[in-house]
Amino acid sequence: MQLPEAQVAVLKTADADTDRPITELAEEADLKVETATGAALALAEEGLLSVTEREEATTTLTEEGREYVEQGLPELRLYEAALEAGADDEPVSLGQLLGEAGLDGPAVDIALANFARKGYGTVDSGEVSATADADPDADDERRALDALDAGETVEDTELLDQLESRGLIERQESTTRLVSVSDDGVTALMEGVEVAETVGQVSPELITSGEWRDVEFAEYNVEAEAEEPAHGREHILRQTANRVKDVLVGMGFKEMDGPHVDAQFWINDCLFMPQDHPARTHWDQFDLESPEEIQDLPDELVERVRSAHLEGVGEDSEGYHSPWEESVARSLDLRGHTTSLSMRHLSGFAKGDLEPPERYFSVEKVYRNDTLDPTHLLEFFQIEGWVLAEDLSARDLMGTFTEFYEQFGITDLDFKPHYNPYTEPSFELFGTHPETGEIVEVGNSGIFRAEVLEPLGVEADVMAWGLSLERLLMLMYGFEDIRDVHGTLCDLELLRDVEVVY
Ligand SMILES: N[C@@H](Cc1ccccc1)C(=O)O
């Protein structure tokens, strides 16, 4: 019988009466595991080998686990020091015992937590009493660690769970394929198997020489399991950003863009944020030292914005009467929101004057000097948007959000009245986290005030919002930590394997 080279090697290395792991055969036959696996599966198909699968759990000691095998578990070291010092008779100070046991740093907490849990004694107001008749040699966790260190297996899953939760072991599940030669395989071997002269890959030489006409090509085994190469793919955040753009375009919006570094004028002043507003300090914004200021601001608009801040607009509006400096308006910041783009567009500065109805959006990065935590980073993507039209109301705003979020499977939005210096009314928007059930803030919105619109020269109503792309992702996929998908600590495995949801 003629077989491809790898198959002959595997068949000859396998045994008829013992099941052997493919990995072992591969090593012996000097083949890559994938090649040997492919060959074994092909042979099994021909009935020459039998292949069985075995699920295996392997347990390995972590570095900390190994350290305890050598030096003893902290709680046992504490117990031994306690016995030595006579704490089974009379309480002894914890400080003294820690010193004698050579325990410090995190080992102290570990010793204390497990000492009481395992019944080695009690600690009360810094005094340790030891149980007289505890037997550290019989300590299950110690024995299990020793056994694992010696390469033995431990069956007690509860004990393994405990060691795993202490971070002393790691468990992996794996599938091992076991192979043995079948009766037909034995017969074939006895009758003689030879390597078929097959060609695995077409080469330029084969083609130019015309030799390809005469050779025999190896068959492809499209069912063979191969290693999966980790290739590049679109980041889930980018993927979702693109979907958001598609959805908004589908809802009749146009995209706007603009600078990441911008004048405070566009970021804050146009939005009727008083220059002494707390969010304008460096706690929230990143200021640029250089260049010191922006040159091309529209003078007339600057004048109208200044006057709105100082005196208000129209009859009912007062303004702030607080200091307003043009140099502050001209200074540059990393934008803390993309509402700066809305201002550039609504004022006519970006694209010329706009006539209602108009709808614009952007999905762009913004920067804030926040404290890092599971839901905050120093930068995130904001889904900015606005509608310019006659007679808008809160219902239009809510209807737009309902329609937008529905496309991402999110149907349980909550609205909470809110305050922004630039919108009235204003609403914060909340969704429910699919895993934790927690209420998560997803955005902020409102209808721009006259103090914003009048200086811009806008006569119709404008409703507007800034939503967080990352929070949308959290609701869609159940991520609990923004750092899983964003930034340097993000989990590559998760990004590779996450399924696209629709
Ligand atoms: N700029 C607001 C969002 C917003 C935009 C427009 C109107 C109302 C609110 C924020 O960043 O939170």
Distance 439 CA to ligand 1 centre (A): 19
> In this structure, which amino acid lies at residue 196?
A
ipTM over 0.90? The verdict is yes
User: How would you class 14 by CB atoms within 10 Å of its CB: exposed for 0-12, middle for 13-18, buried for 19 or more?
Assistant: buried
**CA-based end-to-end distance of the chain:** 52
- The best mutation among 361, 420, 423, 470 to test binding of ligand 1, ranked by most ligand atoms within 8 Å of the C-beta, falls on 420
pLDDT of residue 502: 57
201 CB neighbour count, 10 Å cutoff: 7
What does the pLDDT read at residue 230?
A: 79
pLDDT for position 460: 97
Q: What residue type is assigned to position 311 of the chain? A: E
d(CA 420, CA 427) in angstroms, rounded, equals 9
Global pTM value: 0.62
Write out the DSSP string of 386-454. EEEESS--HHHHHHHHHHHHHTTT----EEEEEEETTEEEEEEEEEE-TTT--EEEEEEEEEE-HHHHH
Enumerate domains of the chain plus CATH numbers.
2-60+173-217 (1.10.10.10), 239-261+336-497 (3.30.930.10)
What gap in Å lies between CA 456 and CA 478, rounded to an integer?
Answer: 41
- Give the other-Cβ count within 10 Å of 60's Cβ: 12
* Listed residue (499, 471, 486) closest to 410, CA to CA: 471
Q: Is the CB of 444 under 6 A from ligand 1?
A: yes
Q: Please indicate if the annotation marks 382 as binding a ligand.
A: yes
Distance between CA atoms of residues 447 and 175, nearest Å? 59
**For residue 265, what are the contacts with CB-CB under 8 A and spacing of at least 6?**
294, 297, 302, 305, 329, 330
C-alpha 270 to ligand 1 mean position (Å): 13
264 lines ligand 1 (CB under 6 A): no
> Comparing C-alpha atoms, which of 136, 147, 86, 84 is closest to residue 114?
136
Consecutive H or E run containing 309: helix 299-311
SS3 96: helix
- Is 423's C-beta closer than 6 angstroms to any atom of ligand 1? yes
The tokens describing 458, both together, are 């806008």
- Residue 466 alpha carbon, nearest atom of ligand 1: 3
**In whole angstroms, what is the distance from residue 334 CA to residue 418 CA?**
25
Residue entry with tokens 């966790």: 141
Q: Measured in angstroms, how far is the CA atom of residue 445 from the centroid of ligand 1?
A: 5
3-class state of residue 176 by DSSP: strand
pLDDT at position 501 is: 61
CA 402 – CA 385 distance, rounded (Å): 14
Query: Which strand (E) or helix (H) includes residue 170?
Result: strand 169-181
Q: Is 422 within any annotated ligand binding site?
A: yes
Three-state DSSP state, 175: strand
Q: What is the dihedral of CA 462, 468, 474, 480, to 10 degrees?
A: -140
Q: Whose CA is nearest to atom 5 of ligand 1?
A: 465
The structure tokens listed for 352 are 């010329």
CA dihedral 417→419→421→426, nearest 10 degrees, is -10
How many other C-beta atoms are found inside a 10 Å radius of the C-beta of residue 56? Answer: 11
Q: Cβ(225)–Cβ(41) under 8 Å? A: yes
Q: How far, in Å, from the CA of 58 to the mean position of ligand 1?
A: 52
> What spacing in Å lies between the alpha carbon of 327 and ligand 1's midpoint?
24
| Whether 480 contacts 394, CB under 8 Å | no
Cα–Cα distance for residue pair 263/256, rounded to 1 Å? 17
Query: Which residue minimizes the CA distance to atom 9 of ligand 1?
Result: 445
70 is in an annotated binding site: no
Contacts made by residues 493-501, CB under 8 angstroms, sequence distance 24+: 495/235, 495/236, 496/230, 496/233, 498/236, 500/236, 500/239, 501/409, 501/476, 501/477
Q: Kindly list the averaged pLDDT for each block of 10 residues, start to end, along the chain of length 502.
A: 89 92 93 90 92 87 94 94 93 93 90 92 91 90 94 90 93 88 93 83 90 83 76 87 97 97 96 84 80 90 97 91 93 95 96 94 94 83 98 96 96 95 96 94 97 97 97 91 81 78 59
Check the annotation: does 339 bind a ligand.
yes
Q: Can you give the length of the chain in residues?
A: 502
